[in-house]
Each structure stands twice: as structure tokens, then as C-alpha cells.
């Protein structure tokens, strides 16, 4: 567990925190706009992505300090990687571009506040156009980037965990302990005492 792995761990945790925060903010804004409009119901896939991102925020804040326990949490990193990839797949399957029926009849309708223009049954793709397209693509992009950060964090955790387990860790405590043990061994040896 050298300095490089600690620095890389902090960078990955901050990337996880930033990507999850952006996802929560964008989805939270959409949920707010949707509840302002009439007959809005949140899709389960969006709720899943929001919940996973909230859990990722909490765990990345807890694990951002590069102590030994944060490297032991690599199974949690692997679980969040899988959950993030599942959320990405679920949302990308809904709409990976901004020209599907779901997009202009649901996301674009509520994001652009088109309930003030016409009822939902009268909305067409020409009216909605690309309202909220950048936000939708940002959610997909940050879900994927966050998932990659969780994967790299899990790989780093496995690497450091194996180093610690094999006794090849390099940190000050073990180095100090070895120096201290050498001094006590020298003091106990009568030939070196003069």
C-alpha cells in the first residue's frame, strides 16, 4: 500500500463521488419537473439509477480517506460496478439517443415543461425537439464513467489486498517496527554492547 496506490485511490473515489452527484442532481431535477406536471409517474429504471447513485455517494464519502479499510472494501467496489453497469444498460435500453417515442413523450415532455403547451397526448417529436437531450446524455455518460471508476477501484483494492496479505506492504508502521526490532536485537546481543 504505497503512496501511489493511496493517491490513485483518492482520485478514483473523488471521480466516483462527482459522477454520482451529477447523476443524482440531474435525475432529481427531472423528478421535480415531472411532479410539477400533470399525471406524472416515475419509471422504475430511473428510480433504480437514483438509488444506486445515492448509495454510491454515501460509500465514496466514507471510503475517500485512503486507510487500509478502504482497500478492504473492494467487494463493495465490485458490487457498485455491477450495479452501475446495470443502471447504464437499463437507461441506455430506454433511449440511447434523443429521437425515440419514450424520449419525446416522457423525458423531453417533462424536462421541457411542455405540459404548459399541450396535453401529453397531443405532443409530437416536432414540438419537443431536443429538450433535455444534453441532460439525458450526461446521465448516461456519467453512469458509465462512474462504473469504470468503481471497476478500477475494485482492481486497485484487490491488488493492495493481495500485497497486504502476502506481507509486501510498504508503509511507515511496518518499516518502523522492523527498525525498532533491529535495535532491540542489537541491544540484547552482548557482543555489540560496549
Give domain status of residue 87, yes or no. yes
The confidence score (pLDDT) of residue 116 equals: 74
Q: Measure the CA–CA gap between 171 and 58, rounded to whole angstroms.
A: 28
In this prediction the pTM is 0.78
Count: domains in the chain: 1
Give domain status of residue 155, yes or no. yes
Domain that holds residue 86: 3-166
The confidence score (pLDDT) of residue 191 equals: 61
* Under 8 Å between Cβ of 123 and 104: yes
| 116-137: average pLDDT | 75
Give domain status of residue 142, yes or no. yes
| Other Cβ atoms within 10 Å of 88 Cβ, number | 20
Give domain status of residue 37, yes or no. yes
Give domain status of residue 182, yes or no. no
Give domain status of residue 183, yes or no. no
* Under 8 Å between Cβ of 163 and 169: yes
- Per residue in 172-184, pLDDT (tens digit) is 555 555 655 665 5
- Per residue in 48-101, pLDDT (tens digit) is 999 999 999 999 999 998 777 788 889 999 999 999 999 999 999 888 777 777
The confidence score (pLDDT) of residue 165 equals: 77
Amino acid at each position: 500500500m504505497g503512496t501511489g496506490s493511496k493517491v490513485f485511490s483518492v482520485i478514483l473515489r473523488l471521480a466516483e463521488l462527482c459522477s454520482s452527484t451529477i447523476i443524482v442532481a440531474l435525475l432529481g431535477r427531472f423528478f421535480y419537473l415531472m411532479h410539477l406536471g400533470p399525471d406524472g409517474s416515475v419509471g422504475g429504471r430511473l428510480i433504480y439509477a437514483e438509488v444506486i447513485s445515492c448509495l454510491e455517494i454515501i460509500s465514496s464519502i466514507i471510503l475517500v480517506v485512503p486507510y487500509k479499510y478502504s482497500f478492504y472494501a473492494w467487494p463493495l467496489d465490485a458490487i457498485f460496478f455491477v450495479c452501475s453497469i446495470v443502471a447504464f444498460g437499463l437507461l441506455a435500453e430506454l433511449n440511447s439517443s434523443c429521437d425515440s417515442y419514450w424520449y419525446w413523450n416522457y423525458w423531453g415532455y417533462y424536462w421541457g415543461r411542455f405540459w404548459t403547451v399541450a396535453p401529453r397526448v397531443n405532443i409530437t417529436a416536432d414540438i419537443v425537439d431536443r429538450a433535455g437531450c444534453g441532460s439525458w446524455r450526461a446521465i448516461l455518460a456519467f453512469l458509465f464513467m462512474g462504473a469504470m471508476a468503481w471497476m478500477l477501484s475494485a482492481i486497485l483494492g484487490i491488488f493492495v489486498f493481495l500485497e497486504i496479505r502476502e506481507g509486501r506492504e510498504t508503509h511507515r508502521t511496518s518499516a518502523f517496527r522492523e527498525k525498532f526490532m533491529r535495535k532491540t536485537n542489537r541491544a540484547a546481543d552482548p557482543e555489540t554492547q560496549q
